[in-house]
A and B are shown apart, each in its own frame.
Chain A
Amino acid sequence: MKCLDRVARAFDRLKGSLCFAALLISVFAASEDLYSQERLRVGSKTFTESYILGEILAQVIEREKSAWRVDRRLGMGGSGIVFEAVRTGHLDFYPEYTGTLAEALLQRPELKSIPELREALTELGMTISDPLGFNNTYALAMRRAHAEELGVRNISDLVNHPNLRVGVSYEFLDRSDGFYALTEAYSLAMSRVRGMEHSLAYDALDSGSIDLMDVYTTDAKLGALDLLLLEDDLEFFPRYDAVILANLESTERAPEAWELLKTLEGQFSESKMIELNAMVDIDRMTIEDAARVHFGESIEISGFSRPIFVQELWLRTKEHVFLVVISLIFSILIAVPLGFLAHHSKLLEQLILSTTGIFQTIPSLALLGFLIPILGIGVLPALVAMILYALLPIVRNTYLGVEQIPKSLRETAFVLGLEGRRRLFWIELPLASPSILAGIKTSAVISVGTATLAAFIGAGGYGDFILRGLAINDAWTILHGALPAALMALLVQGIFDFSERWALPKGLRLSLQKSV
């Protein structure tokens, strides 16, 4: 029978793809190992200053034409993720702040001096440089006119204004030197507090939809917007001196590179950093160019006529497609058998449907953070996270597809003596195929979206543009990621709609059309 042969052939082809994917991944893993001897991996977090400093770290090594090649993993999600990546040796260097290290990462706020911090870090296999020279601490900012109108100058003055609308970054909300701790120290009772993406909070504050936000003292926009930084009259905020965090082994493996990085110590001041930040955030200079300015090159600012990053777009497209295709293949291979397995007993059904359901409820950043100690950073943990997210729609639709096979057909199969593989491949799989395909389509479209999160752990894809664009608050850069991702989602939808023509058994497709 043609139809059955096709199922068998499709199965064979899947087996081929599985081998292909396994090959690709092992090649990728191997190549990372191979190059780790001569590559230095420099990271950064997802805000402008960290991008710029990360790029400067990369350039200071590259400018010396040393034997080291720099692998940029800029714009990784959250301090926890980058810190963990350095600790586990998946990243060599990135710019960090003393306050963040003591308060949030080591959770030992009593560590104030550089030697103390260095000692604590050494125990974890890491070290830090001396300060780069500027203190980027937290401050609370209000519109100047608004603050004057209310007579607010110090943070203490906020006691009389508990109804101000507060928009603070998520990271700032919870950390031990963050917002809640601050309100306690100052005995504030702010009643309208919400977490916001930091770069969006400026627009919210400027347009008056919030009244108070957290800022860094080197934020580029401090000059451009007329904001008042409230005085920290109780000296609540610790110092946030910028330093370079390094894996100890990396400094031993590449002592010349570490020496080069240490030439950056003491080279920066707050005003210089605000200037560099403003070049990117306000003058729309690229991060690479801003870093070059630091090294004394003069760069012409091209204003709004910004180029399309054609080459990078192509690179990110390849990364994105790779992530989506490979993760989808693995999700299908895992989820379809699980969907069938769920039919064997009530217990399995509960177990499988609820476990795959749970993955969907884990916030993506939390899941990625959880995977780093096990799988490191880069493509592998990104693929694993994407696979986990894509399981549920396929499992559920496979399960429902088999469930919906009419009782009369089920019994006919039994009476005709169809058991095991025959029943599975001749009857259940073809009859459930419309539902399974719909599940795969859902997962594929979702995967195009979740692949943008891969950038958080340095796996590239369109998310790289989006994170960078969000960091520098630049719609043009964001568009480079968001638009192709949206188009790809539509394309995937289209491909699946079209593929129904050959992927579904003909008789089934025609009879479904007729009954509609």
Chain B
Amino acid sequence: MIELKSVSKSFSSQPVLSDLSLQFEEAKTHVLLGSSGCGKSTLLRMIIGLTRPDEGEVHLETKPLSAYSLFERSQLFGYVIQKFSLFPHFTAFQNVELPARCAAWSPQKVKSRIDELSELVQLEPEMLEKYPFQLSGGQQQRVSLMRALILNPPYLLMDEPLSALDPLIRGDLQEDLLKIFRRLEKTVVFVTHDLREAVKLGHKIYLLNEGQIVQSGLLEDFQSRPASEFVSRFVQSQRSAAS
């Protein structure tokens, strides 16, 4: 379980997250939703240790995040970002195997794990011999996902992984991701600014605004019992944009 204990974060005295507390249950897909610039990435980066909270703490299981070494954290988390996360001097295969090399896996073990993963994310095996710049955006994100999953970490953090893709490919990948999440039953924290994507993928949605979670639950809750004026406006605006 990931737990944020009243964390605050400001950038040059501009508060981004203020006194925010949150728990992400095991084996569920949690979607962080909010307009761009509201602090979703900051929250995710805090969980993985790229950003330190000014106040408050992040706990993993029962221990604070700082109790884990960098290596231990790399085994606990898979992390996928929007784009530019693949190393250009490595082939897709080399990118995917990187965490396994650090963990000193045998080549046979790496090979069979990568075969398994390429089937899971539906990437043709011959694509693995290509360099990132030779792959399409969708293929690159499938490779990133494989790399995030290779050590089979219990937590998967994804920061708008589909936002840079064409709508058509994005739809396909949403379907594929849903299947993968169902099959793996990992604790997923998925960031998006798209309500429909959130509804499609998430067990539970968290709406972020002005440094706080304004409401969490299912879309039905947002519609029937909006916690504030902002919630209904947000839901309304995304609806009309989509139709």
Contact = CB atoms under 8 A, between A and B. Distances in A.
Interface of A: 1, 3, 406, 408-409, 411-412, 414-419, 422, 426-427, 430-431, 505-508, 510-511, 514-515
A507 B89 contact: yes
Given A408-B81, A511-B131, A514-B133, A415 B50 contact: yes
Contacts of B97: 1
Contact of A510 (B50, B71, B131): B131
A414 B89 contact: no
B99 interface: yes
A431 B48 contact: no
Interface of B: 48-50, 70-71, 73-75, 77, 79, 81, 83-85, 87-91, 94, 97-99, 101-102, 131-133, 147
Nearest to A409: B87
B76 to A, nearest CB: 10
Contacts of A3: 89-90, 94
15 contacts: A1-B101, A3-B90, A408-B81, A411-B50, A414-B50, A415-B48, A416-B98, A418-B102, A431-B87, A507-B88, A507-B90, A507-B133, A511-B88, A514-B133, A515-B133
Given A427-B87, A515-B133, 20 more contacts: A1-B97, A408-B81, A408-B84, A412-B79, A412-B87, A414-B50, A414-B70, A416-B98, A416-B102, A416-B147, A417-B74, A417-B75, A426-B98, A431-B87, A431-B88, A507-B131, A507-B132, A507-B133, A511-B131, A511-B133
A416 B74 contact: yes
B74 A415 contact: yes
Given A507-B132, A507-B133, A511-B131, A416 B89 contact: no
Nearest to B130: A507
A515 B134 CA distance: 12
Given A414-B70, A415-B48, A416-B74, A408 B85 contact: yes
A94 B195 CA distance: 89
Nearest to A514: B133
B81 to A, nearest CB: 7
A507 B74 CA distance: 25
A419 B70 contact: yes
A415 B102 contact: no
Contacts, number: 73
A417 B102 contact: yes
Contacts of B102: 416-418, 422
A409 B85 contact: yes
B34 to A, nearest CB: 21
Contacts of A505: 89
A508 B88 CA distance: 6
A412 B94 CA distance: 14
Contacts of B83: 408
Contacts of A430: 89
A62 to B, nearest CB: 60
B45 to A, nearest CB: 8
A512 to B, nearest CB: 8
Contacts of A418: 98, 102
A513 to B, nearest CB: 10
Contacts of B70: 414, 417, 419
Contact of A431 (B77, B85, B89): B89
A515 B132 CA distance: 13
Contact of A508 (B77, B89, B98): B89
Nearest to B48: A415
A427 B91 CA distance: 13
A505 B87 CA distance: 11
Contacts of B79: 412, 415
Contacts of B90: 1, 3, 507
A417 B87 contact: no
A415 to B, nearest CB: 5
Contact of A511 (B98, B101, B132): B132
B27 to A, nearest CB: 22
A409 B79 CA distance: 12
